[in-house]
Structure 1
Amino acid sequence: MFSSLSIQRLASAGLICLLAACGSSSVRQDAKNDYVKTLPPVGNTLSKANVNPSQLLNRITFGSNFTSDQQLQSVNMDRYLDQQLRSRGSVVPNVIQAQINSMTISQLSLEELIHKLEAQRIEAEQQKGVDDSLRKAYQQELNRLYREFATRSLLRDVYSPNQLQEQMTWFWMNHFNIHSGKHNVRAMLGDFEENAIRPNALGNFRDLLRATAYHPAMLRYLDNEYNTVGHINENYAREIMELHTMGVNSGYSQKDVQELARVLTGIGVNLNGNAPKIKPEFSRLYIRRGLFEFNPQRHDFGDKQFLGNTIYGRGLNEMEDVLTMLTRQPATARYISKKLAMYFVSDNPSDALVQSMANSFLQSDGNIPVTLRTMFDSPEFIASLGHKFKDPLHYVVSEVRLAYDGNYIVNAGPMLNWLNMMGQPLNGHQTPDGYAMDESAWASPGQMSVRFDIARAMAFGTPGLFKADNMTVAEKPPAPALANSMYAKTMSSTFSSETREALKQAKSPNEWNIFFLASPEMMRR
């Protein structure tokens, strides 16, 4: 039985949990606006350094093209970067938005989607050995929903003017990696990106971490749905500390992991919508929001010792406390800052840059745009422009953005295939550490051979991009006009003498396109 103090603590925790977990959207929106307001005024760092606009665009967007250059030229480099840091939402051309709106993941809530899939899965299980077509249909539906998620993500990468938000959305999707092959998370990835990652990609890190911690895709992938009092599962607790916040060898102990796992007991998912039977003394603490569920009967209400602090057992608010504590650790500030610097600057950013970013992270209480501004204003960032090797996603998207600028693709299938060929399908990394960011992971001879094949396919036009499923190719699918593009010609004038000489030797526009798209310079950003 609980003592009177325990009952009082649990009852108050129930109310606080509800406020914390289901707080008003207006409060959250005001907080997001505050993150933007704290950005320092626009300076002249980039203009003063005489940065090449194309190189800047290649770094803070998914790839420079004439459209993004016009966007930059309408203001100036420093103001353009400031606008990108303040950008919110995905604004794409109407024809692209229409494709997105037609997707199942855009029309159904995650709860509706999963309830339908669960009914389909259960029916398939009941017919196992009798009618295997139901199981195949279930798997095909999961694959279709995954393809919708990946297609929507790529369309936004190609067409959204808020390119820094798109880059940061992918960065955090990789940081909080969820492998698409486990359970039914293929059907959850679209919602994970749309409602956990995207709204917080340029917000506050605690809000971002919290959104991932409440999302059923994360709880399923890292097995926290099986984490219950008396049967502790440490998977999610370990990855929160090792990969999501503090990083390996940052001062926490195995005991801290175990205590965090205790904090996370009872936090899981409810896929069918049926409420479990709850004892009266726990009923006020039970929380279900969509597919997320906190079941107090599965929670360890004992006090915990975490990172030298006492976490009093009172339910879901324990997680709220530890997430705040983790985001304010100096180790977390350094770990996140180093990953950002590796993504945007170099494979081996200096300790001075990382520490400067970490200081901004801590002083701003996890403000992501403020941390990024510190990095973008640094001489190290400016000196690195044009040198960072493109991972497959950056290579594919940058090629499409440049080659088909002004044209609207109707089928992202070829792009998805190219990413598969290069070993970087979206959310295809099996372990929670995500894809590597360094050049050595992607610069193999085999990788370069595939990239040349992609460049050749692009150079002669890729009709598949303009062929919707079950439809014939458009009569004259657009072909890249790079050889006759003044913007591409201007870009090529900054290439090495060897590349410029090769371009001069091209015997046709298509051959010029191949040499340009497969050039060493197009492999870097």
Structure 2
Amino acid sequence: MFTATRLQKILSISVICGLSACAGLNSTRPEHSRPILPPPSNTLAKAGVAPEAFLNRITWGSNFSTKQQVQAVGLDRYLDQQLRGQVSVVPPAIQNQINALTISQNSFESLVRQMEAKRIASEQQKGTDDTLRKEYQQEMNRLAKEAASRSLLRQIYASNQLHEQMTWFWMNHFNMHNSKHNLRVMIGDFEEHAVRPNALGNFRDLLRATVFHPAMLRYLDNEYNAVNRINENYARELMELHTMGVNGGYSQRDVQELARVLTGVGVNLNNDAPKIKHEISHLYIRRGLFEFNPQRHDFGDKQLLGSTITGKGVKEVDEVLDLLVRQPATAHFISQKLANFFVSDQPSEVLVSAMTQSFLNSDGDIAFTLRTLFDSPEFIASLGKKFKDPLHYVVSYVRLAYDGSTIVNTSPLLNWLNTMGQPFNGRQTPDGYQMTASAWASPGQMSTRFEIARLLANGSPNLFKPEKAEGNAIAMAPVSIPSANLANSAYLKNWVKNTSPRTQEALAKSGSPTEWNLFFLSSPEMMHR
């Protein structure tokens, strides 16, 4: 109950903590300093790992250009560079495409408000004329497509391929289905400013960035979470899917208490701030579209995971994030998912336990935890055996077939992914796409994949034919269409020597370059990474 005594206690805490308008988001808690990664080992070199097998696992697909980078420094040093690299660049022509996107040219806040104004106008017109509603939906779809296209271009061309893999991994971990509310205009900023900067950093910093992003607060309904009107949706997923896992040892009471911590943490799309009682107005926080409204917050003390969280406003969130990230269950859950993504559908408990300990010892450092994974014999033994999801299949094909060429149209890629059931941000449930063979190797899925392979075998000229400019999009100049004749690739011919005898026999019997392409794209080696 919000009594005078309770208010006095809160005010005294705020003085001690030095709360200000920005304190809730620009926390006084220092950012994690990066644990010093051990120097590159000779693990991969000693094991005699084939460069293609290694690159097909830690990148979006091996190609000649990437193999040249490995040959210049060696596998172990290349891995070390990928783990340490925080900046990932793309060729200038690709960067120019990214810079031309509406989501690159407009601020997140202004773009969301523009679209909100269009939505309101279309609602007011509803029942008389459907034009504005159709225009609104088309523009929202276009913005969502821009976000997906930007991701694809980086996955294909970026220098730090491990960083791109981890960016997608975390986008899938913190999955949001973009058909809800106005998430289509928010999803690109969520990736750009919440996930990408932290993809190989510290898990606590990554988690915090997602917690305070308007897209996540909208998707999991926390904007409706208020004192005496508790909405547990985000609190439950924050524990079950984002940190401790479904069997993490927390109780329903813990979920309820976490939901109380998150009351008042929400979104405000308006220009104006709400009217706040004078005695708590200094606790109000606004940054962009994020808002912490103290009038909607439950200031009572909470009992969460055996700890008492003293009511003090948005500062409670930071305290709880520390608590969640340092739970052994969180370290195990995250390690399990990383091992599932990079090693196998059923990684050993020995590996997961070793990674869990690295996660705890480094206070949640992602690269430090991954180093334990990549140095393990289990990782080396698994190379070439992990079944590709559709995204890995499509991107690895493009990286291999069009190495050095500049794609100007991502629509075919997006269409292939839609056909194979893995559109960007298209998973309807918040658990994200599954990374197991059983999710993607069904007879129906394989039949669809073989049809895509037949399409790819004939080349993909539409990748190099600019789309007609829409809205603010900038039309690209026509370019020559490169050949996708994999059969004549010296790099691929050498790689094929290490494929199975059955694959080599099938390729030798091909009657044309197109047939050779089809056989290779349908081979077990192309289906696995």
Question: Shared fold (TM-score greater than 0.5)?
Answer: yes
Cα distance between partner residues in 1 of 2:274 and 2:148: 34
Q: Which moved more, 1:192-201 or 1:503-512?
A: 503-512
Q: Which amino acid aligns with 1:436?
A: Q
* Partner residue of 1:358 out of 340, 356, 359: 356
Find the counterpart in structure 2 of residue 234 from structure 1.
Answer: 232
The TM-score with structure 2 as length reference comes to 0.96
1:429 corresponding residue in structure 2: 427
Q: CA deviation at 1:520?
A: 1.1
The answer as to whether partners of 2:464 and 2:479 remain within 8 angstroms in 1 is no
- Out of 110, 115, 135, which is 2:108 matched to? 110
- Identify which of 478, 486, 503 aligns with 1:482: 486
Deviation at 1:249, TM superposition (A): 1.8
Q: After TM superposition, give the deviation of residue 389 of structure 1 in Å.
A: 0.3
- In structure 1, distance between residues paired with 2:9 and 2:433: 48
Output the CA distance in 1 between the equivalents of 2:82 and 2:161: 7
Give 1:21's aligned residue: 25
Aligned ranges 1:250-269 → 2 under 5 Å: 250-269=248-267
Q: 1:439 to 1:459 in 2, by over 3 A?
A: same
Corresponding residue number in structure 2 for 1:155: 153
Counterpart among 165, 169, 194 of residue 163 in structure 2 = 165
For these two proteins, the number of residue pairs brought into alignment is 519
Query: How far did residue 42 of structure 1 move?
Result: 1.1
Given residue 74 of structure 1, which amino acid in structure 2 is its aligned partner? Answer: A
Gaps of 5+ in 1: none
Question: Counterpart in 2 of 1:209?
Answer: 207
Give the alignment partner of residue 37 of structure 2, picking from 39, 42, 53.
39
- Corresponding position of 2:376: 378
Q: CA RMSD in A?
A: 1.6
| C-alpha spacing 1:510/1:434, structure 2 compared with 1 (3 Å) | same
1:210-225 aligned at under 5 Å gives the runs 210-225=208-223
Q: 2:93 aligns with which of 72, 92, 95?
A: 95
Could you tell me whether the CA contact under 8 Å between 1:223 and 1:235 is conserved in 2?
yes
Counterpart of 1:524 in structure 2 is 528
Counterpart of 2:384 in structure 1: which amino acid? G
Letter in 1 for 2:335: S
CA, structure 1 residues 76+20, in 2 after alignment: closer, same or farther (shift >3 Å)?
A: farther
SS at match of 1:74: helix
In the TM superposition, residue 395 of structure 1 has moved relative to its aligned partner by 0.3
Bigger mean CA deviation after superposition, 496-505 or 453-462? 453-462
Q: 1:417 aligned to 415, 427, 431, which one? A: 415
* Residue matched to 1:500: 504
Aligned with 1:300 (options 293, 298, 301): 298
2:471: which partner in 1? none
Structure 1 residue identity aligned to 2:174: F
Residue by residue over 1:6-27, the C-alpha shift from the partner in whole angstroms, topping out at 9 and shown as x without a partner, is 32124445616733512599x6
The change in CA–CA distance for 1:475 and 1:203 in structure 2 (over 3 A counts) is: closer
Q: Secondary structure at the match of 2:22?
A: helix
Paired residue secondary structure (2:4): coil
Question: Given the superposition, is the C-alpha separation of residues 222 and 79 from structure 1 closer, same or farther in structure 2, using an over 3 Å criterion?
Answer: same
SS at match of 2:19: helix
What residue number does 2:317 align with?
319
Number of the residue aligned with 1:140: 138
2:277 corresponds to 1:279: yes
Alpha-carbon deviation of 1:444?
A: 1.2
**Partner Cα separation in structure 1 for residue 143 and residue 16 of structure 2:** 41
| 1:89 positional shift | 2.6
- Per-residue CA distance 1:473-503 (angstroms, 9 max, x = gap): 9585212131111111111111111111110
How far apart are the structure 2 equivalents of 1:187 and 1:72?
38
Shift, 1:442, TM fit: 0.1
Equivalent AA in structure 2 for residue 493 of structure 1:
K
Q: Check conservation: 1:343, 1:437, Cα contact below 8 A.
A: yes
Q: Distance in 1 between matches of 2:487 and 2:272?
A: 61
Query: Which residue identity does 2:490 align to in structure 1?
Result: M
- Contact 2:390–2:420 (8 Å) recurs in 1: yes
Q: For residue 505 of structure 2, what is the amino acid of its counterpart?
A: E
- Is there any run of 5+ residues in structure 2 with no aligned partner, and where? 469-474
